[in-house]
């Protein structure tokens, strides 16, 4: 009687059991069936929600909004007072490639600032500006910054920002290739226009699109790697 061994084969979409002949050790992987064990989700993290599933007394966490497999976790984080795009997965390779500093990738933020931001301030943000990181002065990398001519179509926030009729609160887009702790808020404050509201809109080509706060969408591994790393897997 032919004996067999069962191996657990890792591909980007599934841990898939495959039977092999132990005398040959050749593995046949039906890639078309790789679609559900390694999971990828995008979510719109709401305002004042911690970027974690473990409970914290008196705080809302992702577990209050999203029901995902136990081994799925957020890649990176958003501060509790920021909102927008988070990627959730159990793909450790993706986690490494998104978080390691040597793998730079674009992140776009839509930022509502306090006051009529000037052209000089926008120029300073683009060129690089000094912020404090872990007690040291850090000059930010060049960024792409754009002032919206009209308020962008964004979900209402609960609670809303404070409203002062006499002080403008325009929106800007900031596209960064680095992600220091509270970097966007520190940058706009250093430019003289503190952040009132901060939404991460996209990471590379993965975009919130029509997601609303507290909403979730599952993506395939192929789509995730194409949109993040331009790989056709």
Write down the residue that tokens 């730079």 correspond to: 104
Neighbours of 229 (CB within 10 A): 16
Nearest C-alpha neighbor of 221 from the set 1, 3, 19, 16: 16
Neighbours of 124 (CB within 10 A): 18
Residue 79: active-site member: yes
DSSP per residue, 107-120: EEEEEEESS---HH
Pairing type for strands 171-176 and 73-75 reads unpaired
**Helical (H) or strand (E) element with 129:** none
**Helical (H) or strand (E) element with 221:** helix 221-229
Distances (CA, A) of 123 to 143, 146, 152, 162, 175: 10, 10, 21, 27, 13
Spot the catalytic one: 64, 67, 71, 79. 79
User: What is the Cα–Cα distance from 109 to 195, expressed in whole angstroms?
Assistant: 11
Q: In sequence order, what are the residues at sequence separation of 6 or more whose Cβ sits closer than 8 angstroms to the Cβ of residue 157? A: 47, 83, 197, 213
Residues designated catalytic = 79
């Amino acid at each position: 009687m032919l004996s067999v061994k069962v191996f657990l084969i890792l591909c980007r979409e599934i841990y898939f059991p495959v039977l092999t002949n132990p005398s040959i050790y050749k593995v046949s992987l039906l890639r078309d069936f790789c679609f559900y064990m390694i999971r990828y989700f995008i979510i719109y993290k709401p305002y004042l929600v911690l970027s974690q599933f473990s409970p914290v007394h008196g705080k809302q966490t992702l577990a209050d909004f999203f029901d995902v497999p136990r081994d799925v976790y957020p890649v990176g984080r958003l501060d509790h007072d920021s909102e927008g795009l988070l990627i959730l997965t159990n793909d450790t390779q993706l986690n490494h490639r998104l978080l390691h500093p040597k793998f730079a990738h674009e992140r776009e933020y839509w930022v509502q600032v306090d006051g009529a931001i000037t052209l000089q301030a926008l120029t300073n943000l683009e060129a690089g500006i000094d912020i404090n990181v872990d007690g040291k002065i850090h000059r930010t990398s060049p960024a792409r910054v754009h002032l919206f001519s009209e308020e962008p179509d964004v979900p209402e926030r609960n609670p809303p920002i404070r409203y002062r009729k006499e002080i403008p609160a325009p929106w800007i887009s900031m596209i960064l290739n680095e992600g220091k702790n509270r970097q966007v808020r520190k940058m706009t404050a250093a430019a003289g226009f503190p952040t009132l509201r901060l939404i991460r809109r996209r990471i590379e080509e993965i975009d919130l699109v029509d997601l609303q706060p507290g909403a979730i969408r599952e993506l395939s591994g192929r789509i995730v790697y194409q949109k993040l790393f331009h790989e056709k897997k």
